Structure 1
């Protein structure tokens, strides 16, 4: 029909005013014959304008009216006369294109919305079972399910039910559907039904009575034989029934699918049997289950099948759920699971992820479940599968602040409502906030945001997500401070017992001591206490992420006691990004770094920026040390100044190593272990060299002033000469001198020996710092020979008496301190010995092999495990280094790249020259790097050197964390070490021993 221009203009304007986007199309739709009885009724436009998407609602209404089998008169007259029906039907059509499609296919299903008395507002499982009772096959079950869903959606979009009630109704509908599907499966296989008892346990959101519109329904199946039956046959029958049930719900029919039934939460996941007996379930959870599996059981609920068997399942497994918090690394396991979820989100989607992203629904659920599992052991009121009920119980019990709980409840309800409305539109499983303006506008209007729906939606969403992000960490750690704080009368605070439970779950071995530290740090009204209260909730989380939270918290208290009145300290931690996290990592990673820091707390400033963690090279440090020595009043004060620089730089190196190994938000973990080993080795070598240079200068100044009567040089040997020192390494050296012109040789020798003796005395003065031990046993004639020789004496000895092992030892010789020209000439002297012009003959090779075998047999400590000794054990440092050194002595005369004191560059040169295959080189390098890191890790953790893994469980765990293994993976670390070194030994047997 044609509309007069004036009327058209008036209707067009009214349509725009009522929220239609395409008013022209809406005018045309209102003119279709099916809507003739109501097209001019203002009530209809008002009702359409109240929907989330008036255009969508009108299109759906036209399709529904045109599909009515006997004409649209009944539908339209009821629609105009009955406001409740009008609101329900049109609001569903304006929110859900999918339900509009269902009504177009089943045009009489609108009648399900007519009866809407108070008694019908909150149907339960029984009512839904009645509505599904006539369904005898998957297609009819799907139709009946959608009809029920239509009524749930109508109550939801009209505001008759809130989000928690809607989620519970959806879970009850899922329960009724599972029962109906099981009934269909049993009817199709009566013999199977007679052979077995089968119980269906709902998990996840269905089990927790908080299901989405479109979601997998997670289940676990429990089966038993019928009385007198065979168990094997019964389980086969139960598996067939369970499989049929899953197909009924999951398979796509002409009416689509209902939802996927997911049984992957069962023991062993997809690899495990679909149905197990109750005893098999119990045995699995007692012996093999991981922490996350007990967390999943928190929502377990029998929903279908044999009720007695389902109740027995719950009775048997529930106690295990509430013991899960006693498992080692419980909190770390839960938090790691959460991080893994976030890490698997595609980067392009993370900002739109309503469920899994930071500040999303999963953050609320994980935080609440964590607190339930910790405190539910002793408080049965917390044992609810519903997130919001559990949150309310946590607040009522004083485990969570009431204000925090209220904010989190509000945020969770808003985010869940968003999720429901996003899914309702097309009934698709998604948690992504749409990007298009049309979708965002409909979503905003469905939430009651009408002034500027898109802007208001984005603002509210970001606000609630921000609340969740802020409270996600605070919820667990902040009450620990409240437990020791002096609160106003009447305020609820976490009871000491509950605080102890929470600290134990975090891995604190001495919760009472931890609470005392928290009280000392956070009590009072000072600015220091206020800032500490802000920092501590986050710091506690970082400490808990380490192998020794107690040590981390104690160290923080000691540092804060020493520096708390220094304004820059707290400002640094509060304002300088990664400084606080770096400090937490360093303090909880072992003894070495914290001991160094506590002797010089001001070094915490190093942690303030990434560049502060860059080790300083020799060119920067040597002038500083020599200047400090020059300013000192005496030799001992001079060496004390040099030691001060060493202490600071040793802390810098250790801190940088720890941060690079653990990683922080701003400084990711270093993926290249070899580069990390090189950096540490070079830094420690430079530091040792400048400390020795300072000690030499102090010894010379004490007796001779600025010039010694003889030129004097210190030659680095072993790992020192190879720039591969570890935290616990001695400094192997040779001392060489050359009389100055006109100086008697005996006088020069006496001067050189006095310098060596005084230097060693000064470096051995008692100190709390890690010792710097000077080892000169690699000198000619060993301990029987003179401590220092002239260059000529070395030349004469090496020409006449040198042994094969001495030539091999000289492969690492490099000048480190003293007269640079003399050091250079010493290297020129020994080059022909270490890089023989014709390589090695077979007799020399046999002698090197004999010495290596002898060393393996004689020097390995009695009772030591050869598979775990990093230096002398199978595939350890000695194996790799002797293999590389043999290649050097055989081929360095013709391969210049082999003329290096360093193991990894020599190995690379051998590979490039074709002397060793790519695979063999990689195997040897991997073992050498790993063994070096283990030695470094042991020293960082224990504060003293060691060549094998610690026996103490906590120390072993700390070494594992340093090597990049998460909590609970110590066994994996040891297995990996044995596997790596076993492969390396096989290469050594072939290349070194010629096996």
Structure 2
């Protein structure tokens, strides 16, 4: 007896063992039959190890009280003596109030937990059938079912089986139960049984060998007449048997229910006949079935009834399952179906929904099933109805990354274990995580979380749900899936002969060489080869959608060889966004981007990052280049480092340009060609400016350390100053310096000239990269003048000697590198020259027109077609730029919008100021953008600059593809170019020449 005001030692021990109501537990331990065990540490330790010690003790008291007096001592002795039995029994009592109720009603059923032999650890269908053999009606079947369920739960809560094994045992018990129920139905209607053959096909989790404790058991019934029986009457008899089977399992009795049998996955659902013949099933699936019905059939498994008929059904529907991915919009249909499920979850439940919500079990199952259905057409190793087995097969086959599969497996097991424990408590069908603190505590403890069960449970649940959600998004919405689904079955796994025929049909000029590339990439049993076999059938089609499929495949082989030992490369192409399609477009579009990529293959990673193709600003680039230069040992290494940054960024720009021009499934074609042109011009300008800044820093450090004796700035001119450079453009510049305080002018001039010479030398060192040539010919006195001048010298020259063409050239002047304050002062100096007060006089206008006419007659290359030369030809870049520049010089003093170095910006400002009508401004802009794109396209396709369309048919087709013309329409492209530039030339004649 406990002394008032003092707590007994038992009370304290109960607290330590996890009891939340130790006072109540003390009273329960005093009941007859348990009082002798009150002080036994073995019992308290076993109770403390359960999910809910209070619940376990209450259940134990009820069980003891339910024992006949003559057997109570035997029970308690067994409880103390047999640890496996004690752990099993108390484990169940501490986790399931419903099974405690069953034991109280059937007090002898505890004996089913005593046996602890190897054969008892993992029973199959046959063992469960023996356990149900004595059931003769619905009530006795329920009792026998609960007895078998008791043993499954005992193994589960004690950790003898893992969650996947427990789910498989539950499915096997369901199979045995369906067979027993069918036997009861047959015995009740022997005439019906004799008239028909009936097969029961398990679907859903039962079919997939992954059943819950409480779940509908989805089935489909297949019937055929027995020999000599009328088909119509036989199907009626089969329907009666099937209906009786469903009632036996589904109806509520004094022993509760087993589970509902749900036949709504049958053809036409609840509106269709309950039982159909095999031929009727096939006719429906071949003509009327929806995508989700084939997804459901993935888990179909014959479990009861006529085994031969069941096998025939599975053999007949299996090919249809693995052809489903060929249906139109298959992948998007499955994705939409998953989204609809989430949309239909009540808002108040979505955060607690363990099964259907985002990051829940369905996310794993749908992702695995979609991958199975797409890739399983050509890989029978993926034909498993069990989620975790299929996931393992997907990982083994290279369709899912091993790390991703491992994380998904771990998360799925944890979430299924949560689901099992939630349902086990009261044997109710639910997928909602409870809100009550006591329920959460019991749930957490049942999963082995003991320090702070509620907090630990919430943390682990959210962690696993986040992993599932992330990987579901990655796998379920993988762009590659839809592309693979659109391939014909024979295109997925190609024999050498079939591959050769397909390559020829796709337009590969040298199928034999292409086949050698395929064999080199995909032969063997390595994981790398397996992933390549997944990627290549799709890539071949993407390469074929270009002007030069052979070049695309060759480039892919070279990149794959270069990155073959890099673990992330193939994973990136398989898993990340549109990376594979982006790579295919880039590799098959011409020479420049692949050449850049092969010199820096790690830049492939840019193609998988949604923001990876966005250009980086000049400040960011200059910071990176200067940091790389600062780490280099000498000037040559410094410039090599700067070139490395330039190479990568040129690839980034070229790839973005190509993908924006061609479009991919994830990134549609850029609707505004002008935006692409501006993006390229800005990006390459910033990159060249950062590279020149790096070369300047390297040249200064080589001789003077951190500071040159004179302040020094690089002024961009021409397209460089206008932010309109192309991939192969020179950098037109002027160099300006100003001696630092106390430095002799001649010493400063020598230093400035030496640094210019060193910069040019460094930038002209031999390299396979596109060159960056510095052109200073726009300086005062041209090639005859000094390479670099002081600001004062520029001022004197421009004041006394400046010609009108030099003022025109200064329209593009903008500081690009070096001393920013000095660069800004240079701009202040030249502004009055390029935007003269009151505009240009007529003499100056006539001189500009004369210079333009002379350039047209003298500088156009001999033999060049003036209607197709992008720079100097009719309506080309020069025509538009000189027209705009004339307007800038005449009106810039009065119109601030014209004071810009950018052609399109100035043209828009001239239109806004009423200097050019709308239609004429649009025509000039269209012509300038088109001519710029032609020059960019030629460089991308040929790998070297050019101002006119290439003559090689494949190169011309590639230029057409870049400009948005489909194969076979290059003639249309050329005529469109002539038409647009001809209209532009007419406007130039009027606005520039005054015609």
Q: Please tell me the TM-score bracket, short chain as reference.
A: 0.5 to 0.7
CA distance, structure 2, for counterparts of residue 576 and residue 758 of structure 1: 32
Equivalence for 2:191: 191
Give the gaps of 5 or more residues in structure 2.
485-517, 616-651, 684-721, 724-803, 813-879, 893-913, 934-961, 967-995
Equivalence for 1:457: 457
Q: CA deviation at 1:44?
A: 1.2
Q: CA deviation at 1:96?
A: 0.6
Q: CA deviation at 1:79?
A: 1.1
The within-5 A match list for 1:275-286 is: 275-286=275-286
Equivalence for 1:499: 534
Q: CA deviation at 1:551?
A: 7.4
CA distance, structure 2, for counterparts of residue 129 and residue 106 of structure 1: 20
Q: 1:602 to 1:256 in 2, by over 3 A?
A: farther
Q: CA deviation at 1:494?
A: 4.7
Q: CA deviation at 1:306?
A: 0.8
- What's the RMSD between the two structures over aligned residues? 5.4
CA distance, structure 2, for counterparts of residue 756 and residue 243 of structure 1: 78
Q: CA deviation at 1:595?
A: 5.0
Equivalence for 1:21: 20
Equivalence for 1:593: 671
Q: 1:25 to 1:552 in 2, by over 3 A?
A: farther
Q: 1:517 to 1:348 in 2, by over 3 A?
A: farther
CA distance, structure 2, for counterparts of residue 290 and residue 507 of structure 1: 29
Equivalence for 2:54: 55
User: Residues 586 and 594 of structure 1 are in contact (CA less than 8 Å); yes or no, is this contact kept in structure 2?
Assistant: no
SS at 1:359 equivalent: coil
* Cα displacement string for residues 852-894 of structure 1 (whole angstroms, at most 9, x for unaligned residues): xxxxxxxxxxxxxxxxxxxxxxxxxxxxxxxxxxxxxxxxxxx
Equivalence for 1:40: 39
* Cα displacement string for residues 796-822 of structure 1 (whole angstroms, at most 9, x for unaligned residues): xxxxxxxxxxxxxxxxxxxxxxxxxxx
Give the gaps of 5 or more residues in structure 1.
606-626, 641-694, 708-736, 738-751, 772-940, 946-995
* Cα displacement string for residues 445-480 of structure 1 (whole angstroms, at most 9, x for unaligned residues): 112222222232223323333333343355575999
Equivalence for 2:9: 10
SS at 2:107 equivalent: coil
Q: CA deviation at 1:435?
A: 2.4
Q: CA deviation at 1:242?
A: 1.3
* Cα displacement string for residues 913-951 of structure 1 (whole angstroms, at most 9, x for unaligned residues): xxxxxxxxxxxxxxxxxxxxxxxxxxxx99799xxxxxx
Equivalence for 2:821: none
Equivalence for 2:86: 86
| Largest Rg, 1 or 2 | 2
The within-5 A match list for 1:702-851 is: 762=924, 768=930
* Cα displacement string for residues 43-79 of structure 1 (whole angstroms, at most 9, x for unaligned residues): 1111111111100000111111112233632321221
SS at 2:222 equivalent: strand
CA distance, structure 1, for counterparts of residue 591 and residue 575 of structure 2: 14
Q: 1:123 to 1:536 in 2, by over 3 A?
A: closer
CA distance, structure 1, for counterparts of residue 919 and residue 520 of structure 2: 58
TM-score scaled by length of structure 2: 0.56
2:104 is equivalent to residue 66 of structure 1? no
* Cα displacement string for residues 746-777 of structure 1 (whole angstroms, at most 9, x for unaligned residues): xxxxxx9x989977975785864999xxxxxx
Match among 528, 536, 540 for residue 578 of structure 2: 540
Equivalence for 2:611: 573
* Cα displacement string for residues 572-615 of structure 1 (whole angstroms, at most 9, x for unaligned residues): 815999x999999975375562755544445999xxxxxxxxxx
Q: Report how many residues are paired.
A: 657
SS at 2:36 equivalent: coil
Q: CA deviation at 1:432?
A: 2.1
CA distance, structure 2, for counterparts of residue 457 and residue 757 of structure 1: 68
User: Residues 92 and 153 of structure 1 are in contact (CA less than 8 Å); yes or no, is this contact kept in structure 2?
Assistant: yes
Q: CA deviation at 1:484?
A: 13
Q: CA deviation at 1:87?
A: 0.9
The within-5 A match list for 1:130-169 is: 130-169=130-169
The within-5 A match list for 1:190-339 is: 190-339=190-339
Equivalence for 1:122: 122
* Cα displacement string for residues 11-38 of structure 1 (whole angstroms, at most 9, x for unaligned residues): 1101001110111111111112242332
User: Residues 440 and 453 of structure 1 are in contact (CA less than 8 Å); yes or no, is this contact kept in structure 2?
Assistant: yes
CA distance, structure 1, for counterparts of residue 142 and residue 43 of structure 2: 31
Q: 1:409 to 1:506 in 2, by over 3 A?
A: farther
SS at 2:671 equivalent: helix
Q: 1:633 to 1:192 in 2, by over 3 A?
A: farther
CA distance, structure 2, for counterparts of residue 449 and residue 764 of structure 1: 68
User: Residues 421 and 446 of structure 2 are in contact (CA less than 8 Å); yes or no, is this contact kept in structure 1?
Assistant: yes
SS at 1:198 equivalent: strand
* Cα displacement string for residues 682-739 of structure 1 (whole angstroms, at most 9, x for unaligned residues): xxxxxxxxxxxxx9x98998799779xxxxxxxxxxxxxxxxxxxxxxxxxxxxx9xx
Does 73-82 or 344-353 show the bigger shift?
A: 344-353
Equivalence for 2:773: none
Q: CA deviation at 1:392?
A: 2.5
User: Residues 52 and 445 of structure 2 are in contact (CA less than 8 Å); yes or no, is this contact kept in structure 1?
Assistant: yes
CA distance, structure 2, for counterparts of residue 581 and residue 362 of structure 1: 36
CA distance, structure 2, for counterparts of residue 553 and residue 256 of structure 1: 66
User: Residues 597 and 603 of structure 1 are in contact (CA less than 8 Å); yes or no, is this contact kept in structure 2?
Assistant: no
